[in-house]
Amino acid sequence: MNRVVVGHISEFPARSGRVFRAGTLELAMFRLSDGTVKAVENRCPHKQGRLSEGIVCDHHVYCPLHDWKIDLHDGRVQAPDEGCVDAYPVEVDEAGNVILFLKDEVEAKVS
Which domain does 32 fall in, by range?
A: 2-102
Q: Is residue 110 part of a domain?
A: no
pTM of the model: 0.87
Q: Is residue 108 part of a domain?
A: no
Tell whether 107 is covered by a domain: no
| Total number of domains in the chain | 1
At 67, which CATH number?
2.102.10.10
Comparing CA positions, the residue from 32, 3, 5, 35 lying closest to residue 17 is: 32
Quick: pLDDT tens for 61-82. 999 999 999 999 999 999 999 9
In a domain, 20, yes or no: yes
pLDDT (tens digit per residue) in 3-27 = 899 999 999 988 889 999 988 889 9
